[in-house]
Structure 1
Amino acid sequence: MVSNIRIYSREKAADHSADNAIAGAVEGPLERSCTDRDKDRIVVAPELAGIERIEARFRGKGFDLHRHDTYALGVTMAGIQTFRYRGASRFSPPGNVIVLHPDELHDGAAGTDDGLTYRMIYIPPERFLPATAARGRALPFVASPVVDDVGLARLLLEAFGSMGEAFEQLKFDELMAEIATALLDHAGAPQARAERLAQPEVLRACAFLRENIIRQVSAQDLEEVTGLDRFALARQFRRVLGTSPHRYLVMRRLECARALITAGESLAEAAFASGFADQAHLSRHFKKAHGMTPGRFAALAAGRA
């Protein structure tokens, strides 16, 4: 139950500055994630394949005791997050991960007068069933609801991404698998048995990705190509190439875009022809990979800089 908090949907919010700040929060300072620090609010992202994502900012008590039928996984962005869970008071400082299990009572409040900002993602348990089946395990139960895990925090922030941005299916599948694996590790699930190095299967996946850079590729596509399930393929891909299938696909798209830009194509045309949703999508990935915007690269390639 939410008390004294104004709820903003992305489509109906009168002030879109919070959306803009959230879109840059993963790459920028955490303090940018809420521009008006005097107002309590919840920013609700568009639905992502049945998964709800929010960013909340409030002072004092935010939520009365309630429960979800999903996993509630969050990252404390600023302030101290305090809540009652399984008979005890819990506290989470910035950067820590919150792991709340389905059907567990909890409330929520800011632990200091400075207020609290956090992000939470609500994942239906069935999303984790393929990963648990691969390990022969039940749904993961993490005993501590406050976890200091930089890797898991990064995965969750990546799942938020730009809260108004659509996810590619392959990227979404990978994130769900990695989050499930991290929870299983925290729950004490046994590690998977040593596997043979599946180099031929990984190379088939690479060839398929190179041939399909302009289309939406799913984990199911790669399962059919390689004969490996998505979890085994993700592990093998990292063992063989040190990266993920989605990252490999993005880098091949960037190679194509760089060649087109060097040849004099416009940024919009290069983005479309190399499989990016639009020029902004190209720009985000280009800067992450190359440390400069594609516009800057185009100027350098043309000798104008």
Structure 2
Amino acid sequence: MREHLLGVAGSRLRFGCGAEGIERLEAALVGAAFSPHRHDTYAIGMTMAGVQTFRYRGERRVCLPGEWHILHPDELHDGAAGGEEGFGYRILYVDPFLVQEALGGGPLPFVADPVVRPQRMHPALAACLRRMDEPLDEFARLEVALLVVAALERHADAPPRRTHGKPALEALTRVRELIAADPAARHTLAEYERVSGLDRWTIARQFRVVFGTSPTRFRTMRRLDLVRRALRQGTPLPEAALAAGFADQSHMTRMFKRAYGFTPGEWAAALV
């Protein structure tokens, strides 16, 4: 990675080929790289160069070259370089829904210690990051999902927390699909109840268990997906904000930085 991005002034981000529910990103960052933020996906990355430090679940963590980190949906974290030379990493962002499909339903695995030694991760996951510019067809997507689930289950410190009864996966998926079909639309709780056949309290409890985040945050992240797509196409920030259903540019900027640790302008400027 060093020959790709490290040594280039400032911070740089480069997206590889992804698939539905999977993003691959290469980053080179310096200093206090990004402010505290949360993803609605699993983030499974490898430090490629330099020393990466981050605060996660109340502790300062250090990730050296070759080491992995596993971050859970909706867990607050920041990121900084452990030295003046900066650091670089490659990372998979995996939708909890894809993890659910691979698991066949049930609570998501939880890994308490985010830093994983390289010998404890499957070599095929490292290969997936090394070859991030190769397209992921439906078979490769399935393989990546199974590798991610295997890693999560292997490193989970305890069995997943159980809820009262098995989550209503099919019903909750209908709520998820309603939101994803038009993130800019303002759906009501009554609509969620209608499409799922569940009451709003069950939806609120079980949606997070199954998908790793709340319906509200899931909608926010899908709107931010629309913003990122628009920014890649050169759309001005005010237009991108309104098209994605945000009240205005400042509202969008707050949500964007909270999710990614960059403002939309910083994110767009860092794209390679």
- Per the normalisation by structure 2, the TM-score is 0.53
**Is contact 1:97-1:153 (8 Å) kept?**
no
AA matched with 2:29: F
2:36 to 44, 47, 65: 65
- The answer as to whether partners of 1:73 and 1:120 remain within 8 angstroms in 2 is yes
Counterpart for residue 52 of structure 2: 81
3-state SS of paired residue (2:131): coil
Identity %: 43
> Which protein, 1 or 2, shows the higher relative CO under an 8 Å CA cutoff with sep ≥ 6?
2
> Which string of whole-angstrom CA distances, capped at 9 and with x for unpartnered residues, describes residues 203-231 of structure 1?
xxxxxxxxxxxxxxxxxxxxxxxxxxxxx
Alignment of 1:269-280 (within 5 A): none
Report 1:46-125 matches (<5 A): 46-125=17-96
Q: CA deviation at 1:183?
A: 1.1
Per the alignment, residue 162 of structure 1 pairs with 131
Contact 2:15 2:24 in 1 (8 A): yes
Give runs of aligned pairs for residues 257-276 of structure 1, distance below 5 A: none
Please list the CA deviations of residues 87-117 of structure 1 after superposition, one character each: whole Å capped at 9, or x if unmatched.
1111000111110000000011111112100
TM-score, normalised via structure 1 length:
0.48
State how far apart, in whole Å, the 2-side matches of 1:79 and 1:35 are.
Answer: 9
What stretches of structure 1 of length at least 5 have no aligned partner? 1-29, 191-305
> 4+ runs of 1 displaced by more than 6 Å?
none
Give 1:67 shift: 0.3
Call closer, same or farther: CA 1:145–1:56 in 2, change over 3 Å: same
Cα offset for 1:189?
6.4
Name the counterpart of 1:132.
Answer: 103
Q: Give distance in 2, aligned partners of 1:152 and 1:66.
A: 26
Aligned pairs for 1:1-305 (under 5 A) are: 30-34=1-5, 36-133=7-104, 138-150=107-119, 152=121, 154-188=123-157
2:21 aligned counterpart, secondary structure: coil
In 2, Cα distance between equivalents of 1:148 and 1:33: 24
Alpha-carbon distance in 1 for matches of 2:122, 2:29: 21
